[in-house]
Chain A
Amino acid sequence: MTTETIKPSIWAFANPTRFNTFASKAIPVLAIITFALLAVGLWMSFNAPEDYQQGYTVLIMFIHVPAAWLAMMSYAVMSASAIGTIVWRHPLANVSLRSAAPLGAMFTILALATGSLWGKPMWGTWWEWDARMTSVLVLLIIYLGLIALSKAFDEPSEAALPLAVMTLTGAPLLPIIKFSVDWWNTLHQPASVSRFDRPAMSAEFLYPLLIMALAYTAIFFTLHMMAMRNEILSRRIRTMKMQAARKQSSKGAA
């Protein structure tokens, strides 16, 4: 069944209505899981012992590292959605891509902000043009560019393919950026980064970190589904308004 007659060829593949019914049921469940994970994760984080090297600043790690992971994962979700758009022209794939971009940008900003707040007491500087920070900053620029691109088209369905192509163009460059800057960095300032990858993390830090990472992942999927539902609603409103305008103009002509 098609909900719209304007673009039946595209909308026939998926069923946004069914997605919305599913989302309405799934979102409360996801939200409960998110809250539970967050509660456990935060409790474990604040009960973790003081790190002998970093002191209490290790607390920042529990929100910094998950944010950085989610910044990458959001892009992975967007790339998968981009493939869905290009190969199957699936409209939900485009909805998913659009909805993930602001979330990815948010997690990237959080990763940068908390990283900066962690770097000041640890390295004595707010900002260092080191491998990771620079590559994450580039990631942020790519996110913001994609958001700008998605807003630049009058007709949302026209933005689908440009967004997908641009997302995928950025995707293989992310690892290149990461490795190349790593490599470039060894020429200029080798030391400071190695402290970041602490060899084996002891369990008392690892478990809270993993739970917090799961909690952040749950946050992402909950918000992503909510944003997708919003996007579908706003498209429905759009087509209804256009139909109303069309009806009015045909009445005026008659």
Chain B
Amino acid sequence: MFGEHASFIIPSYIISFVAIVGMTIYIIAQHKLRKAELKRLEESGIKRRADNG
């Protein structure tokens, strides 16, 4: 498949795929982590709005 240059075509697709999917997974993981952290903080009684106290 893809002729004599398959060893160049396939890696370039793999690299692009890995980079973009990897970046997406990283961003989603960060989102999950931060959501969890936010929840933890809110449960421990820290309010988002400062009550000037």
Which B residues are in CB contact (< 8 Å) with A226? Answer: 24, 27-28, 31
Majority DSSP secondary structure for residues of B touching A: helix
Q: Are B8 and A234 in contact (CB under 8 A)?
A: no
A: number of interface residues (CB 8 Å): 40
Q: Are B16 and A241 in contact (CB under 8 A)?
A: no
Separation of A102 and B20 alpha carbons in the complex (Å): 12
**Complex: A247 Cα to B24 Cα, angstroms:** 37
Q: Within 8 Å CB of A250, what residues of B?
A: 53
Complex Cα gap A55–B6 (Å): 10
Binds B, one of A60-68, A161-169, A174-182, A194-202: A60-68
Give CA–CA (A63, B16) in the complex, Å: 8
Number of A-B contacts (CB under 8 A): 95
Chain-B contact segment, one of A73-81, A109-117, A131-139, A140-148: A109-117
Docked pose: A118 CA to B16 CA in angstroms: 13
Interface contact A106-B12, CB-CB below 8 Å: no
> Which residues of chain B are within 8 angstroms of A114 by Cβ–Cβ distance?
12, 15-16
Query: Could you tell me the distance between the alpha carbons of A207 and B42 in the complex, rounded to whole angstroms?
Result: 50
**Which residues, 201 to 240 on A, are CB-close (under 8 Å) to B?**
219, 223, 226-227, 229-230, 233-234, 236-237, 240
B16 & A240 in contact (Cβ 8 Å cutoff): no
Q: Establish whether residues B27 and A56, one from each chain, have CB atoms under 8 Å apart when the complex forms.
A: no
Q: Point out the residue from A3, A55, A63, A102 that lies within 8 Å of B48, measured CB to CB.
A: A3
Q: Is the CB of B31 within 8 A of A113?
A: no
Chain B residues near A64 (CB, 8 Å)?
A: 12
Whole-angstrom distance between the Cβ of B28 and the nearest chain A Cβ: 7
Q: Which of B1-53 contact A (CB under 8 A)?
A: 2-6, 8-9, 11-13, 15-16, 19-20, 23-24, 27-28, 30-31, 34-35, 37-38, 41-42, 44, 46, 48-50, 52-53
Whether B8 lies near A57 (C-beta < 8 A) is yes
A181 → chain B, closest Cβ, in Å? 24
Choice from A121, A233, A234 contacting B5 with Cβ under 8 Å: A121
Which 10 pairs, one residue from A and one from B, show the smallest C-beta to C-beta distance? A233-B34, A56-B3, A117-B12, A114-B12, A5-B50, A56-B2, A121-B5, A244-B46, A117-B8, A226-B27
Known A60-B12, A121-B5; further 6 A-B contacts with Cβ < 8 A: A102-B23, A103-B23, A223-B27, A237-B34, A244-B44, A247-B46
